[in-house]
Structure 1
Amino acid sequence: MPPVISRPITFEHYREPLGIGESSPRISWQSEAEPDWVQSGYEIEIRRSSQVDRFVITSSDQILVPWPAEDLRSRESADARVRVTGTNGLRSEWSDWATVETGLLNADEWVAVPISADWEEDPEAEKQPPLLRTEFAARPDVVSARLYASAHGVYEVEINGQRVGTDILSPGWTVYGERLRYYTYDVTEIINEGTNAMGVWLADGWYRGRLGFHGGYRNLYGTDLSFIGQLEITYSNGSRETIASSPDSGWRASKGPIIMSSLYDGEEHDQRQEHAGWTMPGFDDSDWSGVVSNLRDPHTLVPAEGPPVRCTEEITPVRVERKPDGRILLDFGQNLVGRLQLAGNGTANTSISVRHAEVLQDGELYTRPLRDARSTDIIHLASDGSFRWEPRFTIHGFRYAEISGWPNDFNAENVTARVYHTDMQRTGTFECSDPAVNRLHENVLWSMRGNFVDIPTDCPQRDERLGWTGDIQVFAPTASYLYDCSAMLSSWLKDVAAEQLPDGTVPWYVPVIPGGPMWTPIRPGAVWGDVAVLTPWTLYERFGDTAVLERQYSSAKAWIDLMDRLSGPGHLWNTGFQLGDWLDPNAPPEDPAAALTDKYLVATAYFAWSTQKFSETAHVLGKAEDAQKYASLAADIRRAFTAEYVLDDGMMVSDAQTAYALAINFDLIEDSRLLQMAGDRLSELVSKAENRISTGFAGTPAVTDALTKTGHVETAYALLLEKECPSWLYTVEQGATTIWERWDSQRPDGTVNPGGMTSFNHYALGAVADWLHRSVAGIAPLEPGYKKILIAPHPTEAFSYAAGTLMSPYGEIQSRWERDGQSLTYTFTVPNGTTASVLLPGQDLFEVGAGEHHIRTDL
C-alpha cells in the first residue's frame, strides 16, 4: 500500500499559522505506511495567488524542512502541500493544502501607535480601566480583513458587538521594553458594508498592575494603559484600507464598568456603569473623551509565537454548601486555574462577591497561603432579571470558592469554573494499574496546566506567579512530553536572554521584577541559571529543532563562562549565594535552603552538567572549537567534583539522597566501581528513610533515574509508592489534585504548613513524571525529536501493567507492558520515519523499524 500523509502539515511550531513572523517557515509532516516503507524524497507545492510552484527534494527529512520557495512578504498568504516517495518507489497522494500567512514583518509597516484616554490619573492609585472606541466605513467588496493588535496592559476587542478572538490576557507577559507581542485576527466575516464600530476593553495586566511579593510593585513598565491596533481591510481590486489607533482618527475614551482589575486581587464590575451598544455603529459617544498617543518603538513589536491563553475546559461543582448566614461554599473537586462564570436571576443593586482558595480549614476557605492576593471578584447588578457574568482580566488558582450576596435560590447550574491556560496541544499520556500513581500523574498534568499561563510560573494563586527559572529547568522534560510547549518556551527563553545581565547572570525569575532583599540585586545561582543551557537542550532533544539552540547560544555561553569565572582554576563553584536543593523536606519551614546536601556540591554538579550539554550544543551547531573547549572544561569540572565530594569508598561528603542522585545522573563519577558503590549507598539511604523522599528541587528530578541507572529500580518504585510523609503518594492520600510546593504543604494532622510560602499548585516536584514516561512506560528520545526512540520499560511486580503514548514530531509512539501470570507482554508502536532501540529486562538491545511490535517473555 502507498504511504499516506496522516495529519495536516505544519509550519514551524505554530498551531495557528496566522500572522507569523518567519518569511520562510519550515514545514513538517507525518506519514503512515507499511513497516518496510522508508521515505527517500518529497515534493512540496507552494501556491501563491494563482501560481503553483513544485519543488522536488531527495531527502528522508520530514521535520522542519526548509521552505523551498521565495521568501514570503508581509501579510502574504500561501498554501502548501506535500507528497512523499519511498525507496521502493511507492508514492503518497498529495496532502491537503495548508495555509500560512505572515504578519507585519517590518517595523515601518506599523502606522498604529499606542493610544490611551486623555484624562489625568494618579500613577500610584488603583485605576479604573477605560474603554476605547471608533467607527469606520467599509466598501461592499471586502476580500479579507486582519486586525493586528497589542497593548500596554491587556486587551479584548469587539467589532460590531462581536468579540474578536477567544484569547484572554493578551498580549501576555514579555520583557516589554525589548519585546511586545502582537496577535493577528481574521475579522473578515464581521466587517459589514457601510459603518462599523470597534471597541476595546483594557486592563492593567502585568504592564502596570501590582506584581510581586511584599506588597508588590505597580507601573513596572509604564503608567499608561494603551491599545495598539491596526485593522487592514483588503478589497477585491487589491486596494487596502487601514484603520489604526492614533489620536487623530476618531477614537474616543470613557470609563467602563470594570471598576478594578488585578491579576492578584480579582475584578470588580459594575453593571450600572455599562454603556449599552458601545461597540455597535451609531452609538452616541459625544460625551466621551479624546485619546492621546504614547511611546512604543515599532521595532519591539513581535508576532506571537506560541498559542494564546484560552478556556480549555469547563467544570461544575461537585459539592454546594449553603452556610447559615447565606454564604455559598463550592467545591469543584479539582484545584484549577481560571475563574467562575455566574448565571442566574438577579435583583437590582445587588452585589455578589466571589472569594477563592485552594484549601479549606475547619470547613472554611483558608486564604493565608494567598498572602497579599485578595483573589476576590465582585459584580454589582444593575437590574432585576437574568444575568451572566465572568471576569475578563483576572485568573485565580482555586479548588474552592465562596459566594456572598447571591440574591435567589442557588444550585450547581448557576456556576461554572472555566479553566484557562496557554492553549498548547496535548501530546503525552501515562497510565498504570495503580490508581494512586495515575492520580499523581493527573496532578502533575493539572499543575502544568495551571502554571503555563503565557509564561511558566511557579504558582498561580498567591502574590507571586513569576517565571522562576529553576522550576521550569527541572520540569521542562516532563512538560515537553505532556504538551507541545516548544513555541511557548522558545518565546520565553528569548526573554531569559533579554533579562540576562551583561556578565552572564541569569535572573531567578523572568521577566524580572524587584524582589526584596533576598532576590535583589540579581545574583547568579545554580539550578536556576542553568535554564539558559538545559532548557534549550531539552526543547532540541524533544522537538528536534536546532534553531532554539542557535537563538540561545550566546545566552547559554555567557552563563557557562560566568560559572567558569566564579569557579576559578579549581573548577569548584563553592562561593556565593545559592538556593541549593531548595525545599528539601529536612529543611525547616522558615529556611527552605537549609538542605542536607551541600549547596556548593549542587552548584558544582550543575556547572559540570551544563558545561557538558553546552559542549554538545556547540557540536550540533558545527562550532567545533567551542565543542572541544567546553568538553575539556566539563572533564576538568568532573575531576574536580570527584576529588572534592566523592570518597574512596563511593560515599560522598554530603551523605544525602540528592548528592548521590546528582553525581550519578550527571555522569560525574567515571569510575564504574565507585559509581556502583554510590548507587548502592543511595539505595541504602532510601531504605533507611523507609522509602521517604529526602530531595528538593535539585534532587527530585534525578533520584529515581539514579536508582534505575545503578540497578536499583525496585528501590525507585518503593520511593514512588511510599505513602507516608514526605512522599509523592502522601499528597495523593491527602486528597491533592495538583503538585504541592512543599512535600508537607498539608501536614498529616490536616493543618497547612506554617511556612510563608505554601502553595498547593507547584509543578517542580512533579518532575518525577519524566521518569514515569521514560522508565516505567519506556518512551525516551535517543535522537532529537524522537527520530530514534529508546523503548526501555522497567516492569515491576507492583503494577500489572503500565502504558504511555506520545505524539512525537514523527507520529504517535505507544509503549505498553502487561503482566499475565508468569509472562510479560510488551506492545509498542514506532511511527513512520523513525526507528527504535529496544531494551527489555534480561535481553540484549535490538533494533526495530516502524510498525506495531509484540513480544512475550517468561518471568
Structure 2
Amino acid sequence: MTSSLKIASLSFEQNSTGLGIGTSSPRIPWRFTTDTNQQNWEQTAYDIEIVRPNDFGTEKYHVQSIDSVLVPWPSRPLESRGTARVRVRAYGGTDSVPTKWTDWSKVECGLLSKQDWKAHAITGSVKQPEGPLRPIRFRKTFTLPVTSVSRARLYITSLGVFQAYINGVPVGDHLMAPGWTSYHHRLNHEVFDVSPFLRLGESNTIAVEVAEGWYATRLGFHGGRRFIYGHELALIAQLEIQLTDGDERIILSDSTWKCHQSAIISSEIYDGEVYSALEEQTGWNSHNFKSESSWNSAREIEFPKAELVVPNAPPVRVTQTIKPIDIITTPSNKKIVDFGQNLVGRVRIPRLNIGSGDTVVLTHAEVLENKELGTRPLRVAKCTDKVTSAGDELDWAPQFTFHGFRYVQVDNWTPDLENIVAEVIHTDLTRTGWFNCSHEMINQLHENATWSMRGNFLSIPTDCPQRDERLGWTGDIQVFAPSASFLYNTSGMLGDWLKDLSSEQLENDDAIPPLVIPNVISEDFWPTFPQAIWDDVTILLPWTLYQSYGDIDILRKQYPSMTGWLDRGVQRGPDRLWDDSLFQLGDWLDPTAPPDQPGNARTDGTLVADAYLVHVTSILGQISTILGESADETQYKSEYQKLKLLFRKKYVSAEGWLVGDTQTALALVLVFDLLDDADQIAAAGARLARSVRKSKFQVSTGFAGTPLITHALTRSGYPQLAYRMLQEKNCPSWMYPITMGATTIWERWDSMLPDGSINPGEMTSFNHYALGSIINWLHKTVAGVSPLEPGWRHILIQPVPGGTVTSAEAIYETPYGRLECRWEIRQNNEFHLEVIVPPNSKARVVLPSHSGENSQWIGSGRHKFSTTFDSQVDWPPKALLPPMFEAEDSFV
C-alpha cells in the first residue's frame, strides 16, 4: 500500500539537472506535491536507494527522520566524473504509509580537483597589443571509430566568455559562460553532455569562440580599467569520450588546435558588440570547413592559478522574447523601437536584409527625454551594437554582451514591429514566489521589482545593468535579499557570490570586504574602508539564505567571513560602537539628498552604523549557537547586550525619543529590537507615526530605512499608515514612478522628474532593485506569509488587511512544497482566508482582529477561515498639517 501523496521533485544540492555536481557527497532535497486530501501529513522516515555503475546490487538506506531538505548523502563519496542513480520514497501520515518511489535521478560529479585537468590554456597565435581584445575562434578536428559512444562530456572554461560548438551545433544554451567570478581566486567550469552531437566513423570538429566578457574588458567608473584580471583571452577545454568497446578518446586544448580572429570585431560589456559579416568564415565551427589552412596554431599560456570550480548557480540564458509595441519617429527623425518594458538582454533581428558593406547601428537606453533617446544616464558607456552585412540575409544578435534598455534607436535600417525582438537575459533562476492583490498599481510595483531583480541577477547580483558600472554592490543585495529569495531560488547563485566575497575579504588582514564583489574598483579611486550596511552583508546575507532555505552549511562556510568582519573589520570607538570619525554611506539616497550628493542624508550615518552593529552582533550570536561555537556564542551574546545598552545610552532618551528623530532612525530601533522598555517602544512607534503623517506619507528614507519603514509601522500598531505610505503617489513615493510609466524600480525616487526630464545627477538609473525592498512587506504583511523557522517548515500566516486593498494572495514554493495563501474581504466586513500548507510543514495562522490575537496551528492541506474584520478602521489616515492648510489626499 502506498500513499496518494507524491514527491514532486528530487534534486542534488542546488543543481536541478544532476549533471556537473561540485561536491563528492551531494545532499539530496525533495519536495512534495500539494495534496489537499492529505491533511496534517508529516514525514516520519525515508528510504533512499542508490545504484552505481559497475556495482552489483542496490544500496538501500532507511532513515527515521522528518528531514526532507538537503538530507546527507548516505553512501561513500563520489569521485570526479563519478555517477550514481538515486530514488527516494517517504513515509508519513497517521499510518506511516510510504509514498511511491520517485523516478530514478542521475547525479554526476564534475571535475573536483585541479589535478583532473589535463588540458592546456590556449590563446591566439599572437598577442594583441591593446584593448578591446578581438574575440578569438578555436577549432580542433578528430575522428571517431564506428563504435557507439557510451558517454561524452565536455569540461570547459575560459578566460573571458565562450560559446562552444560540436560539428556546427551550439553546445548548451548558456550565455556569457562561465560567468563572472573573482578570477584570481575562483574560475567556474561548465560540464556538457555532448554525446548527441558526435559523428561515428567520421571526422568531428569541436570549435569555441572566446570574447572578453568581464575578464579583460574595461570595468568601473570614469572610463574604468581594462585588463584587471589578465591581458589575454584563453580557452581550456577537455572533451572526454568513452566508447562502448571500452576505448576512450580525450581531446585536450593545446597547441595542436587552430585559431583565427573572429568576425566579431569587438565585444564589450559597456560599449556593445561590433560584427562584420564581411569577415565571416561560413562553417568555421563545423566539420566540413574548407579554409582551415588560413588558420594558425594556438599558443599555450600559463594555466590559471585560480581554483576551478563547478558553479552552484544556474547558467545565464535567454528566458523570454519580447516583441516591440511601437516604432517611434523622434523630432530629429530617428527611429526608436519601444519594447514596452525596461529589460536586460539583447536585440535580435531575425531577417536582416541590407546591402553588402552597409552597417546597422543599435543604441540602447532605458528612457526617452524630450522625445529623444535618453543616453546621458549611461555616462561613458556606449551601449551600442553594430552589424555590417555581406549582402546575404542575416539572423543576427550580439553574442557576448548585454544591455539594459526599453528603447533602441536604429540607424541605417528601418525596423518594423515584426522583424525585431528583444531577448531577455539573466541567470535562469527558478521562480518560487508570486504576489497579487486587488490594487493594480501595487501589483505593478511588485512586477517592477521582479523585473529589476531579473535584470540585475546576471551572473552576479548587480546594482544596475546599463551604465558604466554593473557591479556587485554589497549594500544593494543586503537590503533586497529577503525579497529576492522569495521571488526566486537564489541559494546557489548568492551562495557562490558569497564565496567570492570571502575570498576577497579574507585575503586582507583587516577582513574588510570590498564594497563591490568581485572588486574592480581601483584603490586610487575608492580605497577600501569599513562600512556598515554594505559590509554587514557578510553576516546578513548568509542569515537571509539560511532563513529561506534552512541550509546550515551556508552559515558554516561563511563563518570565518562573518567573524572576521565583526572582530577585525569594524572600526570601533572607545565604547566598542563605531568610530564616529569614520565616514559612513549611511541612509544612502535619502530623498532630500541633492542630485550630486546622494549620501547627504537626514539621519546621521554613525547612528545608522551603530544600529546595524548591534543588530549583526545579535545575529552572529545566534549563528554561533546554531554552529555549536560555544566560546563565540558567549562572546557575541554578551557583546550584544553591552552594545545594546550603549546604543540606548548614546541615542535614546528615557521617554523613548531618539537623538536622530528621523523615520530611518526610528525604524531601525523598532525593527532591530534595540529598545526593551514597553513604554519606550510605544513612544518610538508613536513618534514614527507622527513623522509619517507630518511628511504627508511621502517617503523620507533611503537605503537603510526604506526596507524597514513599513515593517516598523506595522509592528508598532500603525498598519494603516504603512498602507497609506505605500499608496501615496506624489514624489517621493513608491507609486510616483508608476504614475510616470516605470516598469522597473528606479535608483532614485525622482530618477525622472515630473516634467519628464531625467534627474540631473550623474548617478541615476531606471533599473535598481534596492528601493523595491518594500515588496518583502507585501509578502509578509499584505499577503501574510513568512517563515517561523529557517527553511519554512514552520510558517507564519498573518495577513494584515488595510488601505483600499480588499484581497491579496501569495504563492511560494517552499523547500517542502507549494504554500498558498489568499484572503478577501466581502460584504459586511467578512474576512475569508484560504491556506494550503505543503506536506511535512505546519503553519501558525493569526487572523486579523481589533480585540486581540486570534491564532491556531494547522498542519498540511487546505484550510479555510473566516472572521469579522473592518479593514477601514482609521482609514484613510490624515496628514499632520498646520491648521491653515487643508489636507489633500493623493493616495490611489
TM-score (norm 2): 0.94
Residue 2 of structure 1 is matched in structure 2 by 3
Paired residue for 2:808? 802
CA offset at residue 395 of structure 1?
0.3
1:271-350 matches, cutoff 5 A: 271-283=277-289, 284-297=291-304, 300-322=307-329, 327-344=334-351, 345-350=353-358
CA contact (8 A) 1:563 1:607 kept: no
**Cα distance, 1:570–1:148 mapped onto 2, change above 3 Å:** closer
- Counterpart contact for 1:3–1:91, Cα < 8 Å: no
Spell out the pairing of 1:626-641 with structure 2 (5 A cutoff).
626-641=632-647
Counterpart for residue 856 of structure 2: 846
Q: Verify the 8 A CA contact 1:581 1:697 in the aligned structure 2.
A: yes
Q: Residues 736-758 of structure 1, C-alpha deviation per residue, up to 9 Å, x if partnerless?
A: 00000000001112111111100
Alignment partner, residue 500 of structure 2: 495
Q: Answer whether contact 2:149 2:242 (CA < 8 A) is retained.
A: yes
RMSD: 1.4
Q: Which residue of 1 aligns with 2:379?
A: 371
- The answer to whether the 8 A contact 2:611-2:669 is kept is yes
Please show how residues 664-683 of structure 1 align to structure 2 within 5 Å.
664-683=670-689
Describe how 1:294-693 pairs up with structure 2 within 5 A: 294-297=301-304, 300-322=307-329, 327-344=334-351, 345-383=353-391, 385-406=392-413, 410-500=415-505, 501-515=508-522, 519=526, 521-562=527-568, 566-693=572-699
In 2, Cα distance between equivalents of 1:516 and 1:390:
36
Q: Which residue of 1 aligns with 2:234?
A: 226
Tell me, which stretches of 5 or more residues in structure 1 are unaligned?
none
Whether contact under 8 Å (2:452, 2:745) holds in the other structure is: yes
Matches within 5 A, 1:165-176: 165-176=172-183
Residue 21 (structure 1) aligns with = 22
Deviation digits for residues 466-504 of structure 1, max 9, x if unmatched? 000000000000000000011000000000001113212
CA apart distance, 1:517: 5.2
* Alignment partners' CA distance in 2, 1:511 and 1:531: 14
CA pair 347-327 structure 1, distance change in 2 beyond 3 A: farther
How far does residue 139 in structure 1 lie from its aligned partner after superposition?
A: 2.2
What CA deviation, in whole Å up to 9, does each residue of 1:271-311 have, x standing for no partner? 01011111122423112111111222466111121101100
Q: Which residue of 2 aligns with 1:267?
A: 273
The reply to whether residue 699 of structure 1 matches residue 705 of structure 2 is yes
CA distance in 1, matches of 2:354, 2:656: 71
Distance 2:135 2:344 in 1: 24
* Aligned residue identity for 2:322: I
Amino acid in the other structure paired with 1:494: K
User: In the TM superposition, what are the counterparts of 1:117-136 in structure 2 within 5 Å?
Assistant: 117-123=124-130, 125-136=131-142
Question: What secondary structure, in the 3-state scheme, does the structure 2 residue paired with 1:431 have?
Answer: strand
Task: Give distance in 2, aligned partners of 1:574 and 1:195.
Answer: 70
**Does 2:235 correspond to 1:235?**
no
Identity of aligned residues (%): 44
Residues 630 and 116 of structure 1: is their aligned pair in 2 closer, same or farther, counting only changes over 3 Å? same
Q: Which residue of 2 aligns with 1:829?
A: 836
Specify the SS of the correspondent of 1:412: coil
Structure 2 CA distance, aligned partners of 1:516 and 1:571?
26
Separation of aligned partners in 1, 2:433 and 2:330: 42
Runs of 4+, deviation exceeding 6 Å? none
TM-score, reference length from structure 1: 0.97
For the 8 Å contact 1:224–1:294, the answer to whether it is kept is: no
Corresponding residue for 2:169?
A: 162
CA distance in 1, matches of 2:691, 2:769: 25
Q: Is the 8 A contact 1:179 1:300 kept in 2?
A: yes
Deviation at 1:149, TM superposition (A): 0.7
2-side partners of 1:594 and 1:537: how far apart?
Answer: 30
Post-superposition offset of 1:106:
1.8
Displacement, 1:8?
Answer: 2.0
Q: Render the CA deviation track for 1:494-526: whole Å, top value 9, x for unaligned.
A: 00001113212111110111246562x211100
Please, which of 37, 40, 48 is the counterpart of residue 36 of structure 1? 40
The reply on whether 1:111 has 2:128 as its aligned counterpart is no
Unpaired runs of 5+ residues, structure 2, are 870-892
Counterpart of 1:747? 753
For residues 195-206 of structure 1, the aligned pairs below 5 Å read 195-206=203-214
Stretch deviating more after TM superposition (79-88 or 763-772): 79-88
Q: Quote how far apart the aligned CAs of 1:36 are.
A: 3.2
For 2:331 and 2:770, locate their aligned partners in 1 and report how far apart those are by CA, in whole Å. 40
**Are the equivalent residues in 2 in contact too, given 1:572–1:637 (CA < 8 A)?**
no
Note the alpha carbon deviations across 1:621-642, whole angstroms, 9 max, x for none: 1112211210111111111111
Structure 2 match to 1:209: 217
Tell me the distance in 1 between the aligned counterparts of 2:523 and 2:397: 34
> 2:44 is matched by which residue type in structure 1?
S
* Residues 357 and 401, structure 1, Cα contact 8 Å, conserved in 2: yes
Secondary structure of residue in 1 paired with 2:98: coil
Shift of 1:706: 0.5
Counterpart residue type for residue 503 of structure 2 = A
- Deviation per CA, 1:819-848, whole angstroms, max 9, x where unpaired? 101211011111111111111222333211
Give CA deviations for 1:756-781 in whole Å, capped at 9, x if unaligned: 10000000000111111011101101
- For 2:102, which of 87, 95, 107 is the aligned residue? 95
Contact 1:571-1:636 within 8 A present in 2 as well: no
> Using a 3 Å threshold, how does the CA distance of structure 1 residues 2 and 117 change in structure 2: closer, same or farther?
same
Query: Which amino acid in the other structure matches residue 165 of structure 1?
Result: G
Paired residues in the alignment total 852
Query: Which amino acid in 2 is paired with 1:331?
Result: D
Name the CA distance, whole Å, in 1 between partners of 2:144 and 2:306: 29
Task: Quote the offset at 1:570 in angstroms.
Answer: 4.2
Please point out which of 246, 259, 264 is paired with 1:258.
Answer: 264
Shift of 1:237: 3.0
SS where residue 41 of structure 2 aligns? coil
Counterparts in 2 of 1:586 and 1:516: CA distance versus 1, 3 Å? farther
- Work out whether residues 40 and 839 of structure 2, in 8 Å CA contact, stay in contact via their aligned partners in 1: no
Q: Could you tell me which residue of structure 1 aligns to residue 879 of structure 2?
A: none
The one-letter code matched in structure 1 to 2:179 is G
Contact 2:832 2:866 in 1 (8 A): yes
Q: 2:738 aligns with which of 732, 737, 748?
A: 732
In the superposition, relative to structure 1, how do residues 758 and 324 fare at CA in structure 2: closer, same or farther (>3 Å)?
closer
Q: 2:158 — aligned with what?
A: 151
1:357-381 deviation line (CA, Å, top 9, x unaligned): 0010111101000001000000000
The partner residue of 1:76 within 60, 72, 82 is: 82
Which amino acid letter does the alignment assign opposite residue 296 of structure 2? S
Residue of structure 1 in register with 2:877 after alignment: none
Q: Are the structure 2 counterparts of residues 18 and 359 from structure 1 closer, same or farther at C-alpha, using a change threshold of 3 Å?
A: same
Q: Work out the CA distance in 2 between the residues paired with 1:754 and 1:711.
A: 39
**Post-superposition shift, 1:5?**
2.7
Please tell me the residue identity of whatever aligns with 1:107.
K
